[in-house]
Structure 1
């Protein structure tokens, strides 16, 4: 592999992955909707190929993928958003916004990219450990990541015979511009540099499922195996009354 496409490349984990893959000698197709930031990334190295589009816009996605500068061997669908529900006050426009980026936006990208998939390629989805346990205020974010997790695992089964591999990534709390807005404690928060390192390492080892930080995600996975009544009592103490990444 020597070319990777990264959505959400203009901020947070996606930006760090772009910088780190370039430093490792890869060509990066950096995708995002922030034109100025894409130009800034392109100024780093000629191997950064900016691709401007909005994952929430069908036509924008189709046009972008019809004009790929080259065909990547690694497809890293990372673009995401996060908004929280306020104390159980359901807000359908808010939930729709989050779902449209975190889930439907990924589906749009896969649909547009799939004609280019070839044996030996790897498709990677950046999900969240929040998808494995119901956490407070996360009716939008957690549901979107749970939908993505199901989609990725089902898709993995359906294309297994094609020779295209699928990876699903489960980060815990990562310090990014999104989590900087959080008004609650974030257990075992790690840097974006560490997150990028863990993702790149896992993908280089062809791992289908990548969890980090190990201790925090292990705790939530164990909690997720318990009866639902127990889960609610434990998570309210684990992450307080506010929520997660």
Structure 2
């Protein structure tokens, strides 16, 4: 039986991934902060849980101190907050998002990487928002751009350890996080559908898993064009 560790397991994509991998015969270590949801997940066969805050270095170290060998790790936990008034930049908000989405990955990697087996897999949760600059996304976009670079460098440096690294770049997925968005979310998909995309992508060993393709490929196309084109398009979208 293969063993997988998943962070951010108490809601959205993380919860859907836990349930999907459990149904496919994996032993799942579900990590999160919501103890009530962790207790519910733990009722399923072959799921154990760990409760900790990924942004607290000491909590991460203590919770992951005695991990067994792992076949796969999906570092999925994250947050999203927007900069609504860039002229009066909210440095504390910026620091919160960068810490949760990027710095905390370092805390987790320090503990989990030594336990990933040769031939194992590591997946980091990025975002299609890293392809292009979006209004109000100074903090979120910067954090996910950092995740993308981190995943790509780890993919190079872990070749000698035979650990495959994948970057996950979803489009809009309906989760408690995106439920807070006050703007249109084109091609929105459900968390269960997102989990299926991720499962299939990791099974194929894809270096980048992005979905839905119609949305993410459109962003990738705009990213190839001069910055002025995207500035024109995005400004018109904001002013609608």
TM range (shorter): over 0.9
Residue 3 of structure 2 is matched in structure 1 by 3
Residue 127 of structure 1 is matched in structure 2 by 126
Residue 167 of structure 1 is matched in structure 2 by 166
The CA distance in 1 between the partners of 2:9 and 2:158, in whole Å, is 26
Provide the aligned C-alpha RMSD in A. Answer: 1.3
* Larger strand proportion of the pair: 2
Residue 187 of structure 2 is matched in structure 1 by 188
Deviations 1:179-236 (A, max 9, x none): 0111110011111111000000000111111110001000001111122222222233
The CA distance in 1 between the partners of 2:238 and 2:53, in whole Å, is 33
Q: Check conservation: 2:166, 2:206, Cα contact below 8 A.
A: yes
Residue 85 of structure 1 is matched in structure 2 by 83
Residue 74 of structure 1 is matched in structure 2 by 72
The CA distance in 2 between the partners of 1:100 and 1:228, in whole Å, is 28
User: Are 1:231 and 2:230 matched, yes or no?
Assistant: yes
Deviations 1:93-137 (A, max 9, x none): 001111111101111101111221331010001100001100000
Q: Check conservation: 2:72, 2:116, Cα contact below 8 A.
A: no
TM-score w.r.t. the length of structure 1 is 0.94
The CA distance in 2 between the partners of 1:209 and 1:174, in whole Å, is 17
Residue 241 of structure 1 is matched in structure 2 by 238
Q: Check conservation: 2:168, 2:210, Cα contact below 8 A.
A: yes
- Unpaired runs of 5+ in structure 2? none
The CA distance in 2 between the partners of 1:204 and 1:129, in whole Å, is 21
Structure 1 residue 158: Cα displacement: 1.4
Matches within 5 A, 1:46-65: 47-65=46-64
How many residues are treated as equivalent by the alignment?
238
Residue 139 of structure 1 is matched in structure 2 by 138
The CA distance in 2 between the partners of 1:90 and 1:187, in whole Å, is 28
* 3-state SS, counterpart of residue 74 of structure 2: strand
The CA distance in 2 between the partners of 1:39 and 1:91, in whole Å, is 36
Q: Check conservation: 1:56, 1:104, Cα contact below 8 A.
A: yes
* 3-state SS, counterpart of residue 174 of structure 2: coil
Deviations 1:47-68 (A, max 9, x none): 1110111110111111111122
Q: Check conservation: 1:135, 1:236, Cα contact below 8 A.
A: no
The CA distance in 1 between the partners of 2:205 and 2:154, in whole Å, is 17
The CA distance in 2 between the partners of 1:173 and 1:76, in whole Å, is 19
TM-score w.r.t. the length of structure 2 is 0.95
The CA distance in 2 between the partners of 1:123 and 1:201, in whole Å, is 14
Deviations 1:148-198 (A, max 9, x none): 101110111111122111000110000000001111100111111110000
Structure 1 residue 36: Cα displacement: 1.4
